[in-house]
Amino acid sequence: MILGSINPAVLMAALMVAATPILLAAIGELVVEKSGVLNLGVEGMMIMGACLGFIVAVNTGSPFLGFIGAAFAGMALSLLFALLTQALMTNQVASGLALTLFGLGLSALLGQRYVGITPPRTPKLDLGFLSDIPFLGRAVFSHDIVVYLTIALVAAVWWFLKYSRAGMILRAVGENHDAAHALGYHVKRVRVLAIMFGGACAGLGGAYLSLIRVPQWTEGMTVGAGWIALALVVFASWRPWRAMAGAYLFGGIVVLQLNLQAAGVKIPVEYLSMSPYLITIAVLVFISSGRARASSNAPGSLNRPFHASS
Amino acid sequence: MIRLEKRKEPSKFWRIANPFLAVALTMVAGGIMFAMLGKDPITAIRLIFFDPIFSETFGSYSRPQLLIKSAPLILIAVGLAIGFKANIWNIGAEGQYIIGALFGAGVALAFFPAPGWYIFPLMVIAGAFGGFLWAMIPAILKTRFNTNEILVSLLLVYVAEKILAAMALGVMRNPDIAGFPGSRDLRRYEAAYNAELISGTGIHWGVVAALIAVIFAYAMMTRHMLGYHVQLAGQAPRAARFGGVSPARLVVICLGISGALAGLAGMFEVSGPGGQVRIEFASGYGFTAIIVAFLGRLNPVGIVLAGLLLGLTYIGGELGQMMLQLPGAAIQVFQGMLLFFLLALDFQTNYRIRLTQGARA
């Protein structure tokens, strides 16, 4: 009786929307980690994107400009991380944490006059006859453009890492920075660019939350989405398509949990809403243990500082 | 041309000087931030860093507050620092803090309204045990399944927050007041109340515990074999393994100690200054303590100083909200900047700046 009230097409549609912000952040972080850098500041960059994207969109009336602003906000914060870890050789874990704490504070400060405002609406893409297909039309072909661009971005990152020359250099830098350096590649330049890309993606993911998914600005509204994106990269064993599968799986859990809340299941809301975090932990455990062990696929130089001695 | 040259040994001078320099730079950058918010920077900085202690009007209220705010920070940071030294990253202290508070409060509420000298000690044990248990989740997942302890401990913070909300609205809700979330006020239950020990000082049992923890941590890190193992595992993990230091044992010990201390901090807070289990009980001490640990150079004595300083910014922030209508989030930005500056300055500890002339061969 409970499950009967849930329409699978609507569920699928909501799932794609729920998955998009973490997928955006995760695909960015995946590229960063592939270059050998662990940026734990995803949560901070996301919330800055959510905040700045919201502010720009409200003031210009254009969600598009909002997303651009969010990408720049995330990138700006990631540049701070790049400066610290690449130029000043700081500890990546500590710097990432600092980025998150700083981003959470700064966004709360900047966004305080924007609480309770409704942002301009992002139009749904008109896909003509595709949207009229029964079931699929409602589930897959009735979204805003960002959902599709995100999928395109996953494809682009997959192609970039697998087939492009620049992507191979990036992977070489991430696998063995000493060898890459010896071959004449600019380890730090590659890493800074990767970090900036990751920042822009996290910013976009944040803006998707504040402009489309929620859509509103509240302090600390990412509630761990950035950390879940980090977990997703491990879950995906650094493979783009797997990251997408993971994000959609995760989106499904979130949506199902929300539906169960709405359907009035006899479990207190608090316990249902902790399920996404618990499931993320369970998946991390599964991935890191036993035969499914994927950590062997981790980039060789991940979280190791590089300093050219000559 | 400027280039960085790695020092053969980290500079002792900069290690000590950098935290002070970072605080000074944060004051400057914070002043600029306040000026941009349209407040007088000098007044704002004075209000945050000096008035809580030296002002005649606020001093009598805020001086005892200093110990109340600093004690949990120090208690948590001392534990975290041990792990950080060994490269074991417990960043979920906030969650362990919450669970410790719930365990402590749970014991108190179970005994209510019975009197008894043994109730408070039982709460102390329960609080430490709660934090310990919560930290054992990432510890065991790390040692059994090699799961990343950073992500697990952090994700468990969100779970702990949900449990806190469920408790405040459900099992632990005060049955005498209908309709309001939140437990009984433990400050009104004498056997469970973590009262001020010397009136007007802010010293409660949590402050005493923080002091004991600092002394123990200091002795352990400098005198005990375990402290040596921690240092060794952090600086030379391979050598540590050949030397017979079990990485798994170290993970359990480091996470266990920091979890138990965070749980204690939560328990002392809920039975004293916090007073009751509420949805808004968690106030970010577990995250600020990370900054305290770094600012204190992972050294117990340094952590005391850093804890007092960050405790001060909490009180100063409240004063700033009251007197200058400074936004509350400004203090969070402040704390974040502090960590940034410290990390950035630390390159001087490990590297030397060289100015080389012209092109190098």
Q: What angle do CA B101, B102, B103 make, to 5 degrees?
A: 95
> What's the gap in Å between the CA of B340 and the closest CA on chain A?
6
What gap in Å lies between CA A296 and CA B299, rounded to an integer?
Answer: 35
In a domain, B47, yes or no: no
Q: Say whether A110 sits in a helix, a strand or coil.
A: helix
- Looking at the fold, whether B189 and B214 belong to one and the same domain comes out as yes
Q: Which chain A residue's Cα is nearest to B286?
A: A101
Across the interface, do A288 and B148 touch by the CB < 8 Å criterion?
yes
Tens digits of residue pLDDT in A42-101:
999 999 999 999 999 999 999 999 999 999 999 999 999 999 999 888 889 889 999 999
A35, A220 Cβ separation under 8 angstroms: no
From chain A, the residues in CB contact with B4 under 8 A are 89, 307
Across the interface, do A219 and B335 touch by the CB < 8 Å criterion?
no
From chain A, the residues in CB contact with B347 under 8 A are 88-90
- Looking at the fold, whether B235 and B279 belong to one and the same domain comes out as yes
What gap in Å lies between CA A203 and CA A284, rounded to an integer?
Answer: 24
Q: How many CB pairs under 8 A join A and B?
A: 135
Across the interface, do B155 and A307 touch by the CB < 8 Å criterion?
no
- Looking at the fold, whether B289 and B272 belong to one and the same domain comes out as yes
From chain A, the residues in CB contact with B151 under 8 A are 227, 230-231, 234, 280-281, 284
Across the interface, do A95 and B294 touch by the CB < 8 Å criterion?
no
- Looking at the fold, whether B191 and B276 belong to one and the same domain comes out as yes
A252, A170 Cβ separation under 8 angstroms: no
- Looking at the fold, whether B153 and B205 belong to one and the same domain comes out as yes
What gap in Å lies between CA B130 and CA B127, rounded to an integer?
Answer: 5
What stretches in chain B show pLDDT beneath 70?
A: 1-2, 356-361
pLDDT of residue A1: 41
- Looking at the fold, whether B221 and B336 belong to one and the same domain comes out as no
What gap in Å lies between CA A298 and CA B189, rounded to an integer?
Answer: 54
E strand or H helix that includes residue B3: strand B2-6
Tens digits of residue pLDDT in B193-226:
888 888 878 889 999 999 999 999 999 888 888 8
Across the interface, do A108 and B327 touch by the CB < 8 Å criterion?
yes
User: Which phi and psi (to 5°) does residue A242 adopt?
Assistant: -65, -35
- Looking at the fold, whether B109 and B255 belong to one and the same domain comes out as yes
In a domain, A55, yes or no: yes
Q: Which chain B residue's Cα is nearest to A44?
A: B336
| Adjacent-strand bridge partners of A124 | A144
pLDDT of residue A136: 77
Across the interface, do B336 and A102 touch by the CB < 8 Å criterion?
yes
Q: Is the pLDDT of residue A246 over 50?
A: yes
- Looking at the fold, whether B105 and B236 belong to one and the same domain comes out as yes
* CATH, residue B161: 1.10.3470
In a domain, B208, yes or no: yes
Whether the bond between A299 and the residue before it is cis, its omega within 30 degrees of 0, is no
In a domain, A308, yes or no: no
pLDDT of residue B1: 58
Domain count, chain B: 2
Across the interface, do B146 and A108 touch by the CB < 8 Å criterion?
no
Tokens describing residue A167? 């992507």
Across the interface, do A109 and B145 touch by the CB < 8 Å criterion?
no
In a domain, B310, yes or no: yes
Secondary structure (DSSP) of A146-205: HHHHHHHHHHHHHHHHHH-HHHHHHHHHHH-HHHHHHTT--HHHHHHHHHHHHHHHHHHH
In a domain, A268, yes or no: no
pLDDT of residue A5: 61
What gap in Å lies between CA B351 and CA B23, rounded to an integer?
Answer: 21
In a domain, A211, yes or no: yes
E strand or H helix that includes residue B6: strand B2-6
Range of the structural domain that residue B276 is part of: 59-326
In a domain, B43, yes or no: no
In a domain, A120, yes or no: yes
User: Given pLDDT bands bounded at 50, 70 and 90, which one contains residue A193?
Assistant: very high
In a domain, A254, yes or no: no
From chain B, the residues in CB contact with A261 under 8 A are none
Q: Report chain A's terminal Cα–Cα distance, integer Å.
A: 70
In a domain, B260, yes or no: yes
In a domain, B343, yes or no: yes
- Looking at the fold, whether B27 and B129 belong to one and the same domain comes out as no
Across the interface, do A234 and B156 touch by the CB < 8 Å criterion?
no
What gap in Å lies between CA A279 and CA A94, rounded to an integer?
Answer: 26
pLDDT of residue A296: 61
The whole model's pTM is what? 0.91
In a domain, A239, yes or no: no
What does pLDDT average to over chain A? 89
pLDDT of residue B199: 81
From chain B, the residues in CB contact with A102 under 8 A are 333, 336-337, 339-340
B319, B29 Cβ separation under 8 angstroms: no
- Enumerate residues 6+ apart whose C-beta is below 8 A from B183: B105, B109, B167, B168, B172, B173, B174, B276, B277, B278
Across the interface, do A227 and B155 touch by the CB < 8 Å criterion?
yes
Mutate to test the interface with A, among B8, B99, B143, B151 (most CBs of A within 10 A): B151
pLDDT of residue B360: 47
Task: Note the ipTM here.
Answer: 0.88
> What's the gap in Å between the CA of A216 and the closest CA on chain B?
19
Mutate to test the interface with A, among B33, B37, B148 (most CBs of A within 10 A): B148
Tokens describing residue A273? 């809403």
In a domain, A155, yes or no: yes
Tokens describing residue B85? 């030294």
pLDDT of residue B280: 87
Q: Is the pLDDT of residue A258 over 90?
A: no
pLDDT of residue A204: 97
pLDDT of residue A4: 58
Tens digits of residue pLDDT in A266-294:
788 888 889 889 999 998 898 887 655 55
Across the interface, do B350 and A89 touch by the CB < 8 Å criterion?
yes
Q: Is the pLDDT of residue A224 over 80?
A: yes
Across the interface, do A104 and B163 touch by the CB < 8 Å criterion?
no
- Looking at the fold, whether B185 and B308 belong to one and the same domain comes out as yes
Pick from A224, A234, A309: which is nearest to B158 by CB?
Answer: A224
Q: Which chain A residue's Cα is nearest to B168?
A: A270
Range of the structural domain that residue A193 is part of: 8-223
Domain count, chain A: 1
- Looking at the fold, whether B116 and B7 belong to one and the same domain comes out as no
- Looking at the fold, whether B93 and B105 belong to one and the same domain comes out as yes
Across the interface, do A103 and B336 touch by the CB < 8 Å criterion?
yes
Across the interface, do B145 and A228 touch by the CB < 8 Å criterion?
no
pLDDT of residue B222: 87
Pick from A109, A231, A284: which is nearest to B329 by CB?
Answer: A109
Residue A223: which of A25, A47, A6, A68 has the closest Cα? Answer: A47
Which single residue is written with the structure tokens 């960063």? A32
> What's the gap in Å between the CA of A212 and the closest CA on chain B?
23
From chain A, the residues in CB contact with B145 under 8 A are 285, 288-290
What gap in Å lies between CA B19 and CA B302, rounded to an integer?
Answer: 10
